[in-house]
Amino acid sequence: MDEKQSSLAALLSPGKLVNIGPAVISTGGAVSNTGIALYRLGSKVKLMGKIGADPFGEAILTLLRQQDPSLVEGMIVSPEANSSYSIVISPPNMDRMFLHSTGANDTYAASDLKQEQLQGAKLFHFGYPPLMKNMFENEGAELVSLLKKVKASGLTVSLDMAKPDPESAAGRGNWREILTQALPYVDVFLPSFEEIVYMLDRERYDLMEKTATDGDLLSYADGVLLAQLSAELIQMGVAIVVIKLGEHGLYVRTTSDEKRFARIGLSSPQQNQFDDWLNCEYISTCYEVDVVGTTGAGDCTIAGFLFGLTRGLTLKESLQSAVGVGAFNVEQADATSGIPEWTAVRDRMNKGWKKRATSLKLVNWHLHEDLIWIGPYHKSPKESVRSE
């Protein structure tokens, strides 16, 4: 047991009374964090989730209505289920601990999504299937059914992930097979580095976990491994792969197949913009900020990227938007209160907002003049670069 584990065990020992501050009640997860961040940036958003007819469910609706009453119009209230909730224990100078109940999320099915809910939408973002029993059982058959339904409506589909408890049913699932079946119906796939290594190469993940200093698996993220992971995901059918790298920033790689890109759906860039998106490989580091909290940072970074895609920005601009919105997020303790309107994000980026240097091993990568790293699999990696 290391020093941090020993301190946590002492803190949570049976019979001990620990004096703590006031409880903070907030919504969380892909629906709330990414959805509200998109709303605050200026997108028209409808949140679609499933909760129970219980006090937690009512609290969720109340908090969402405080943003905008229209946001809850797509929420499902199930009398038979309890609402999903998490208890986050966050002692000073220690990693957070999560106690989680999946609740109504386990019962969410493709039949819960009504065709009329998709009318007028351009993009459908779905999050955290590893925390939804129906979505990972039977090798993801229900997830595939859901994604097929959305793609048949012509929408762009984006998918976020979560790393399951390795000892749970989700953690023991065949995620390579689930992704093989599901990703042909996904246009933008946005896992974290840890999640995708876990799902595609469990043996490598276990070795990394055993040998990582202070449990930092991101120390193993380098240009070669990111290229291997993204190439496999593109081969499975994804058009745009976005891998979250935590404090190291964001990696993006796109397909070279113009026909696949044309099938992205209603949020697809115009054909005359394809050159800005096809066959690209980029990394952006994070903007420099004073970090107050990291709750929801990945979800808000996703919101920034999807905002750029739906607003017709180039891939580089969407990548900058992603890390910009993520930086605004971490300047506040909660998930979304720090997210401003898009113009504020854009203006801050345009006024010389500094970025952090990278500590990733990036062999044969080049730093572009706009502070985006260009990978060796990019169509023209030596254009307008400077040495670093």
Q: By the 8 A CB rule, do 324 and 343 touch?
A: no
- The pLDDT of residue 21 is above 90: no
Q: Which amino acid, residue 224? A: V
Domains of the chain, by residue range, sit at 114-386
- The pLDDT of residue 95 is above 70: no
Give the HSE-up count for residue 30: Cα atoms under 13 Å, Cβ half-sphere: 22
SS3 154: coil
Q: Which CATH superfamily is domain 114-386 in?
A: Ribokinase (3.40.1190.20)
The model's pTM: 0.92
pLDDT of residue 4: 59
Say which residue, 9 or 112, is predicted with more confidence. Answer: 112
pLDDT in tens, 67-79: 999 999 999 999 9
- The pLDDT of residue 190 is above 70: yes
pLDDT of residue 8: 64
Instruction: Quote the DSSP letter at residue 244.
Output: E
Q: Give the model's confidence band at 23: pLDDT under 50 very low, under 70 low, under 90 confident, else very high.
A: confident
Q: Give the model's confidence band at 386: pLDDT under 50 very low, under 70 low, under 90 confident, else very high.
A: very low
Give the separation between CA 276 and CA 263, rounded to whole angstroms.
16
What's the mean pLDDT in 254-272? 93
**Burial group, residue 55, by CB count within 10 angstroms (0-12, 13-18, 19+):** exposed
Any bridge partners for residue 156, and if so which? Answer: 123
Say which residue, 87 or 206, is predicted with more confidence. Answer: 206
- The pLDDT of residue 311 is above 50: yes
Quick one: CA dihedral 374, 380, 382, 385, positive or negative? negative
Share above pLDDT 70 across residues of the chain, in percent, rounded to a whole number: 94
Angle between the N-to-C axes of helices 193-200 and 175-182, in degrees from 0 to 180, rounded to the nearest 10: 100
